[in-house]
A = this chain, B = another copy of it.
Amino acid sequence: MAHNTVPAAEALLDQYLPVLDHGFVRLVDYLGGDARIVQAARVSYGEGTKSVREDKALINYLYRNLHTSPFEQVILTFHCKLPIFVARQWIRHRTARLNELSGRYSVMGDEFYLPDLGRVQSQSTENKQASGDSLPPDTARKVLAALKIEQGHAYSHYRELIGQGVARELARINLPLSLYTEWYWQIDLHNLFHFLRLRLDAHAQYEIRQYAQALGRCAQAVAPLAYEAFEEHGLYGARLSRSELKLLRRLLAAAGIDQDTDLSPYSKLPRRRLGEFSAKLWPAAVEPAKPEIRPVDRGEIDSAE
């Protein structure tokens, strides 16, 4: 057997997916795919179960039961160009491996992020960290013009300092966060899904969401079945709290629905999945019994018989 290659992913290799005004995401290489996830999972199950499950069902099963380790066996390497303020949010995901363009080694290029007109939005009044409505076009145009002029001045000043012989590492300190940088970024599929779940969310800043879209497209090409499971259970699923489950039970009771209701008329989900659904809503024991743990001396433990 040679490498695990996936035609849809091969077709993407070395293509530039444009993001924002000057940025991009490029899939440089990948390791594994759906087939590798299945292989790795089957190591855990030993020889005997090899032919029993079908790949898609197995991958869905792994994902929805939090058996995350087989998804770590798939790796994607990206080359990205992105504004520094996006890079600063992105790098909070610590499980990736990274090489970034260095402003100490190289003179930075003259490329800055300037939003689209519609993206010039007001501060949200509901969410302290979000944007609200677009500003009126006239105001927005003025905002953009001012941002652009400022970027031009900052870059001219930077080149002036470089021209005067100031060390690159110092000349760059007033460059703005809208400057584009580049990096190689490599991450496993489990952690990429985690990244996507947070960064495709409506609460993520607009700019990083655009990058997440492009990364997601690559992930889908490399491991389409895994991506489908991620969409079903991660991206478009929801975490409900104990109180919310209780509320749901009340609402359903009002409609005469309880754990004994036959749910098959309401859904095409297979019987096993319907059973799992019931078990989530009406858990057998609401809480694991927590026996009172009495602290003792170590002597009592070591001499226990």
A266 to chain B: which residues have CB within 8 Å? 247, 250-251, 254
Chain A residue total in the interface (Cβ 8 A):
167
Query: Considering only CB atoms, which chain B residue lies closest to A48 in the complex?
Result: B106
Q: Is the CB of A45 within 8 A of B102?
A: yes
When the two chains form their complex, are residues B132 and A167 in contact, meaning their CB atoms are under 8 A apart? yes
**Alpha-carbon distance between A46 and B99 when the two chains are bound, in angstroms:** 11
Determine whether the beta carbon of B251 is less than 8 Å from that of A18: no
Instruction: State whether A150 and B154 are in contact (beta carbons under 8 Å apart), knowing that A22-B301, A102-B129, A167-B122 are contacts in the complex.
Output: yes
A269 at the interface (CB under 8 A from B): yes
Contact of A99 among B12, B40, B286 (CB under 8 A): B40
Q: Report if A302 contacts B (CB, 8 A).
A: yes
* Main SS at interface, chain A: mixed
B66 adjacent to A73 (CB under 8 Å): no
- Give the complex CA separation of A198 and B65 in angstroms: 10
Mask of A250-268 contacts with B, CB within 8 angstroms, 1/0: 1110111100000100110
* Complex Cα spacing A174 to B294, Å: 29
Assembled-state Cα–Cα distance A36/B153 (Å)? 37
Check A45 against B105 for contact (C-beta < 8 Å): yes
Number of copies: 4
Q: Is A58 an interface position by the 8 A CB rule?
A: no
**Contact across chains for A22 and B304 when beta carbons are under 8 A apart:** yes
Query: Contact between B75 and A31 (Cβ–Cβ < 8 Å)?
Result: yes
Closest B residue to A268 by beta carbon equals: B243
Residues of B near A241 (CB, < 8 A) are 64, 232-233, 236-237
Check A1/B14 contact, CB under 8 A, given A120-B166, A166-B123, A233-B239.
yes
Contact A105 B46 (CB under 8 A): yes
- The answer to whether B247 and A263 touch across the interface, beta carbons within 8 angstroms, is yes
| A119 contacts the other chain (CB 8 A) | yes
CB-based contact A101/B46 at 8 Å: yes
Q: Are A232 and B237 in contact (CB under 8 A)?
A: no
C-alpha gap A177/B178 in the complex (Å): 10
A155-176 CB contact bits vs B (8 Å, 1 = yes)? 0010001101111111011111
Contact partners of A106 in chain B: CB under 8 A: 45-49
| Complex: chain B residue closest to A124, CB-CB | B167
A17→B293 contact, CB < 8 A: yes
Further pairs besides A40-B99, A233-B239: 18, Cβ < 8 Å: A1-B14, A12-B295, A36-B77, A43-B184, A44-B99, A64-B239, A88-B88, A105-B128, A122-B165, A122-B167, A131-B170, A151-B174, A202-B284, A232-B243, A236-B245, A237-B240, A240-B280, A247-B267
Could you give 16 example pairs across A and B, Cβ below 8 Å?
A16-B296, A18-B301, A23-B301, A24-B301, A29-B32, A44-B105, A46-B105, A85-B103, A129-B168, A154-B154, A173-B178, A213-B291, A236-B241, A244-B277, A251-B257, A254-B255
